Structure 1
């Protein structure tokens, strides 16, 4: 069953065994811990409270004795009653100690009886002493001295009881600590034993079912990888787990590899024969390539010579075509220039006609200006007449004002102002008349000048018309020349294209022949490389045969 488990399940089983061992040690430790805790619980519930009760008993008894002393010193019997209550508490503590600690029960009960007797006796004696204010009861005084010795004895007995309980508690705690240390050592030892046993068991399982078969597999693969492998060997399958499946499939791989190596050996023998036949064919192909290359070199030389001649013819035709094209372009440019001149002449003729029309219009307007100047002259004459009459009226007004005497002084002033205004009007009218005369003179001169300009413009218009007519004739002649040159240029272009096509064809033929020559050279080089490849194939075939021979199949 173990051999049929997978490797992962085996590892999980090993881990479970290790965990089980750890659980066992942990359980043992827990059991010991629970035992120790029980011991500590017992100590805390019995011995420790008993020790504390013993200390409380001693303290209560000391308080009781002190109350006795205070009652005797103060003569207060009420303190004796309080001391009795303390005695009851001491007895209660001793009963508690007897119930908690069986070892101290007998001693506690004996002390309880002694303290009970002591308390009854002390109450009687100390009451007599406290009530004897005069000190006459000597018997009670002697009995109190004897009672003091009993008090010391009981105090020592209670102190011994407290000391013994404390020592017993310490001893028990020490014993529990030793037991706990021993339990820890035992738990650690058990844990180490379980862990070591589990590890050894796991190592044995891993070595037998995992690492052992894997080591055998690695050894076989290493033997095969180093080229000294015996392909007839097979791995032994020990189990049905993952390692067993690995060994099984490794055997299948080696078996397939054995068949492949055998087939490679057969193919290497066939490859060797094929390489020798390929070497012979490559030699024949190389000889044929040399012959083709020689003939193609001769044809290529003749083609290069023909191409040079065609290039010369093409260059000459190209130059002639270029010159004809330049003449055609110049003729076209001259035709365009003459056309522009003709258009400019037409525009100049139109402009001169317009100038003649405008000069005539200007002459008419200047004549109108002269006529208007004459009209203005007549108006100025009328204004001059008015100003002379105004002057006469001003003179008559002055004379009339002088006749009027004092009453005519204001009117005389107005008459003087009117006279002065009439004088200024006459002066201004005279200046206007002079200016109009000058305008009329200038207008007459301007009319004459404009008429002269009109004549010149008429002559210019006639000349421009003659130029425009001549330019039109010249443009028609030039256009005919340009058409002829264009036709010649087109013919040269067609010839040039045919020569270029012939040259291109020659170039193509030369390039094809050169390609044939290069192809022949490449074929020769390929044959050389083929020889090298065949040599390499032969060497590889020999090496492959040697390598295959290193395996035992």
Structure 2
């Protein structure tokens, strides 16, 4: 914290020093000698090196720059050029603004004009469309068409006269109508001129013409505006009054057409109001692409209908304006539809015609800009010349001051800021002289103080080095202690975990001992039961031995019986032999007796054979009985031995039970001791943790102290270096002061 405060104070002092230099240098800037820019200034630089590093910038001698600086007159004239350029830019901006405003106003006026003419034309042409529709819906036209179709020509003529009168009245009441034609199949057309002779096939020819095909193609349309009707014009064009547009409407039943021509005067009246000056082009365009220009216009070919800009205007189906290029020139294109008639008004206005309105503004702007440039240049030259003379004079005087001559005084004939500057410079020189005199005594004192600072700094630096070494040793010991404590904590923690594991295993061993004790008791019961069963087995074995002996004795009795059976069989065999002999003697009478004797013989042989087999079986039974008796005897001995072993097993189980009880009691005692150890190890861990925390805090504090001492040591080194530098600069200052002439 102390080091941080020291650094902040040092930064504040450095900042104050920089602010002092900046403030003084702003009040009295250095001035280079414009007369002798390439002169040798090495002497001044060498002689004043110390003072230049010590005194404020405003009090230092001015060094001559080796680079050639620009003249102030050039800079002032350059400064005057900026407002001149601004005036020129203002003139150009005014011209552009005025041009844009006039063009926008002219464009808006032109759009309003063509829009107004569109509205005017809507009334004119829709009025004609309405009158034509009323005429075709009149009873006279319907009766005329009906009687023509029924070939009742007398009535048809009457209604035809009525239709003619209605058309004459329509043309008289509307001055825009110049020609009209009404024709149906099978009847003479009704026209505004009687000099045209229509053929009987005219209706069919008209229907097959371009106009008829238009209606056939567009069956939903019953009326349309066209630029001409060539089918009628070919009959006698001279007899037809000049017209600009024609309105053709098909009868409701599709059996006839009404054609009304609009005079050239009416179209010229509209186009005259769309005349925007020389070079402008205006036209009324019909749905079939016919462009109607002014009757006095020399334009013959189509201009608008097949152009891209006209197609773009049609896409919007409303008023449109844009700048386009036509025949290499820029035009303002205006478009306005005439209601729902299908007609439209289009105009091209040359851009040059629009720009002529702002040409005077351009000329006036250029003249005023040139005059402003000349006037400002003259004023700038006069002002900059006067300033340059004064600056050169002061620069020359400052050059002598830079060489060490402080007896110079600044004078001027001007009564402006230069007089104030001259007085201020003179006062500054007087103050500098006083400052130099005071500095002579001050420099000696500073040099002595700097020597003392260097001596004390060296002593203090050595003391800090010793303290640093001692603290480093302490830090090493604390760090080692912290490491040992941490290692102990780890080992105790591991030991604690092992104790916990031993407790768990001891619990398991206690449970196993209890289980073993229960199993031992069960084993004793099972062995006792087995001993009881063994006694029963011995008893059964004895009975079995007696039974086997009895079987052996009975087998012997059976052997006697078999011997008797063998004797009987031998006697029967002899008896059979005797009977056979007697039967043979008896002849045929003893034949039956011989058969019986033969059967007896066979029976005797079979009995003999069977007794032999039984004898073998008895022999086997006797052998088996003997073996069984021997095995039973051996089993009896084994059972007796087993009974003895079971008694020993019961005794072993009793000893195991006593040992297991002793083991369980020992495990319980171990458990109690381990629980005491587990409780005490928590206290040991807590103590070691506290010791570790204290060691870490001590290590951290030691590091902070060491860092602080190192920073103080570095600061002392810097202070020593700065003091030594101050001594050198003080000596340079003393040498430099000797060069001034006061």
TM range (shorter): 0.3 to 0.5
Higher relative contact order (CA 8 A, sep 6+): 1
Normalised by the size of structure 2, how large is the TM-score? 0.32
The structure with more strand, counted as a fraction of residues:
2
